A and B are shown apart, each in its own frame.
Chain A
Amino acid sequence: MLEIKNLHVEVGGNEILKGIDLEVGAGEVHAIMGPNGSGKSTLSYVLSGREGYEVTQGSIAYKGQDVLEMSVDERAAAGIFLAFQYPIEIPGVTTMTFLKTALNAQRKARGEEELDAVKFLKLVREKAKPLNVTDEMLKRPLNVGFSGGEKKRAEILQMAILEPWFAILDETDSGLDIDALKTVSEGVNALRSPERSMLVITHYQRLLDYIVPDKVHVLSKGRIVKTGGKELALELEKSGYAEYGADEAA
């Protein structure tokens, strides 16, 4: 599904990622853990194509395509989705409008028929219910005045509607209480399938109790320093990131 080879990335002239190799197969869920400043968010941005993240070496292949040649919206239409750590406010654009705009833009880019209002409404209602996203929330401008939990649920709702093939969850657990964490995790788990892969970026093992990964990678100072199974996350929870060169695991 995704193959990253010797990826080096600079931001503002500073090298943040210093040679990442990572392969995620279809249907697999990989967790990336690591201390602050290890390059976790950089990895999510470079995969999704944000400006200002310069790839100096290496390659990213997604379903055999060269991702680095694709624009942000092309990547999205091809099925790469990023659930933001800090979702952005879009004043005046209701969640419903935003969802419909995004879905139909992707469908159009893929040469599929756009959904009409009736079909779309049905789809949203069906996907919103298990995530406790109310009609009232769908009518509010996206992320404007949303609580931390509402923002994250809205992110997962977008993912459920856009049905990406490769989803990156960037610290989706941050700012969530335990109930919200459960709801969000259930939403994510419902999307797990043999054709869909996920990259779960997190600081804490807690999230991985709910979204159980196939593999765990430890990222430190721009490199993957250790890879293991889900038990690696538990080890980290006990010993912290100190042995991987970080001062603080906070």
Chain B
Amino acid sequence: MRELLEPLRGVVVWLMDVTAVPVLAYFVLINTSYLVLILLGALDFRSYLRGRKTVVDTLGGELTPGVSVIVPAHNEEAGIVTSVKALLSLRYPGHEVVVVDDGSTDATFARLREAFDLVELPRDVPQDIPVRARVLGQYVPRDGRTRLIVVRKENSGRSEASNVGVNAATEPLVAMIDADSILEPDALLRVAKPFADDPTRVIATGGTIRPVNGCRVVAGRIVSVGMPRPWMPRIQVVEYLRAFLVGRTGWSRFGGLILISGAFGLYRRDTFVEAGGLDPDSIGEDFELVLRMHKLMREAKADYRVEFVPEPVSWTEVPSTFKVLRNQRRRWHRGLWETLWQYRGMLFRPRYGKVGLVALPYYWLFELVAPLLELYGIVIVPIALVLDAINVPFALLFLALAYGYAIFVTLAAMTLEEWAFHRHSRWRDLGVGLVCSVLENFGFRQLTVWWRLEGWWASLRGKKQVWGVMTRTGFNEEAS
């Protein structure tokens, strides 16, 4: 037995000699970069807090542009009417809702027609963004007052449905949202504020998304914020805080935000159209669009801004089963890889400013490659330990720098949230969050590493992406 393992041991010793220090350095770097983003985010939160202490409420004031909320819907008969009613009742000085029925085979359209008493218009959709699928008709409510447009089209996928929606939209801003998200009543006001603050430069803003699992929802509104019971969504609550809330706030503060989630983004309609809309063939279509907009603006030498709004505005159901979570993470990573590859020409090019010189290299190094190196670490370190190729202190050091430091970063994000927004008012939620920040590193993190690599691998082998169905358990409408 010992003789058999000896050659393997030789390989492992050699591997550790060559890679141990670089791998450790990588983990220190990646966690430190998160920490830097968090500190940048903290600066942004500080001005937010100061703003709140000084109570100048400018939401919805002059210069707030009109918004068209685009809702692509495919077989959503169960929730579509509730969603549309909730969107219509958002507080905003002048918004319309554009529902695009993307060739539903269920009663989606029938439900809408009945609920809003729709009438067909003899209207053609402008081809501002070229669209392949045929539009079947446009409908508006008979009362002539409710600002709803329903467009029916042949099925051609979510991205193209959104593009049709933008074509049919009439307001200067377009909002891309998930139909089944729950929005705060003043979500649009908050996310549109950067446009009113800086009307000539802001081209896009992203809103914060938080998991709705565990919150109490009544009539499409969040009544109280809570932690979900199962551990998987619980961990995602903490994960969202770190990655989306604080991470993106940091990027926004730095001036290099390149990712606006498709679940809540607001764009200038003219820039959206000029960029060519969402790419129907892209898997990371939200990421791809924002990069394309950056490219367009930089090449035109335009003075422009892409901003992130850290206040919670949109609450969405996160996966609570392994199957759905796996699909989601595979898709995310595949979209990340394909988009980064597509825009590799922007890397290190000074003409693309912070995007080309900092943000994109960062995404390559720390978002794309991270799961690969992490997998290497979690495989090689235990093996090396068993084979006696490294000593216990080294394994401990690896654990401390890769995982302990990660916990520290998560805790920093949680502290910032508690400081600035404190949406979780219960002490128990805070306790659960603390436990999750540690627990995340045992199992959950390794699984996502594997899934992300699966997504990347699938793309490299040229496998066709299957979107997978997001099975929803429905909002917890009462109690808990």
Same assembly: no
Query: A interface vs B, CB < 8 Å?
Result: none
B residues with CB within 8 A of A:
none
